[in-house]
Amino acid sequence: MAITGVLRAAMMQLRVLDLETSVDFYTKVVGLFEVGRTSDGRVLLKGYDEFDHHSLALRGAEAAGMDFMGFKVASDAYLDYLTGRTKEFGFPTEDIPANSDQPGVGRRVSVRTSTGHRIDFFADIEGSDPKPSILNPEIWTVEPRGIGAAAFDHALLFGPGAAETVRYFMEVCGFAPVEKGLLPDGNAFVTWLSCASRTHDVAILEFEHPGKLHHVAYKLDNWNDIGHAADIMTMNEVTVDAGPMRQGATRGQMIYFFDPSGNRLEACAGGYAYYPDMPVRVWDFDHIGKGAFYYSRRLNDNFLKIVS
């Protein structure tokens, strides 16, 4: 296959304050489907267009935020490769057995980055319904609902030592730096990283506090869906952070909003298809507002402050 190594951002475990309120929100508003619960009470969800067992796990907790972000890789052998290379790189790794805290998921290599995030890699995961049909397939098997999130797309992570974590994703995991936002001194403070053709599977931004989540993004089809999502959010009294708009970086169209616990989410569409022969696109410090919010061309007050 021409896509090798790490395939895609594929999983997120989020902490939420009130679990049932959150399940309601993620199913009725975001439009994910509940596919299971763990014995310790976590709830597993997925988008209608995902084959994998689940892409989101919600865990009831005292404070919002992320427990870990997961990436699917092309083969079990690649996990061994990652373990070795990660140790050489110097980030701590841990082996997580199959079917432990994530039902349906094979063994994982779990890495702790300099930014304080836990990143899990896995090669095997069972399927679950709903998923796309493969014999004379209709465009979906279960009608999308709420804003109609099709699949988990990417996340933006905030933490210290971003440059080192970016270097890890590039040198060890084979990610490409697709776009960068620069400080006045010319160093990157935010990097969009792709492991295949998405403009980013993960982006990393330099931040004082470790392990922070800026947003988790779900895929919609187009700008019309972004407008529909905005309507659904108003009718459900969801707090919108910004949008509908286009982001300069990646050219994607989106809306940012908050789940009931204060985790920022994004519904995204559009953007170009990345190929590894593309040059890195760069936003200098004076244009970073435009890189984030292409229409207002300035960051709103919350955007760099509120994280979970």
Per rule CB under 8 A, is residue 183 in the interface with a copy of itself?
no
Per rule CB under 8 A, is residue 245 in the interface with a copy of itself?
yes
Question: Cα separation of 60 and 40, whole Å?
Answer: 10
Question: Cα separation of 268 and 128, whole Å?
Answer: 24
Residue 189 tokens read as: 């403070």
Per CB under 8 A, contacts with a copy of itself among 260-279 are 270, 272-273, 275-279
Per CB under 8 A, contacts with a copy of itself among 52-71 are none
The interface region with a copy of itself, picked from 55-63, 155-163, 203-211, 226-234 by CB under 8 A, is 226-234
First to last CA, the chain: 37
Question: Bridge partners of 12?
Answer: 56, 69
Q: How many Cβ atoms from other residues are within 10 Å of residue 100's Cβ?
A: 11
Question: Cα separation of 293 and 305, whole Å?
Answer: 15
Residue 195 tokens read as: 């492991």
The interface region with a copy of itself, picked from 35-43, 54-62, 88-96, 128-136 by CB under 8 A, is 128-136
Per CB under 8 A, contacts with a copy of itself among 72-101 are 72, 74
Residues 6+ apart with CB under 8 A from 240: 230, 233, 234, 255, 256, 257
Site string for a copy of itself, 146-175 (x = CB under 8 A): ----------------------------xx
Task: Report the interface residues with a copy of itself, using CB under 8 A.
Answer: 1-8, 49, 51, 72, 74, 132, 134-139, 174-176, 194-198, 221-224, 227, 230-231, 233-235, 240, 243-246, 248, 251, 253, 255, 270, 272-273, 275-284, 287, 290-291, 294-297
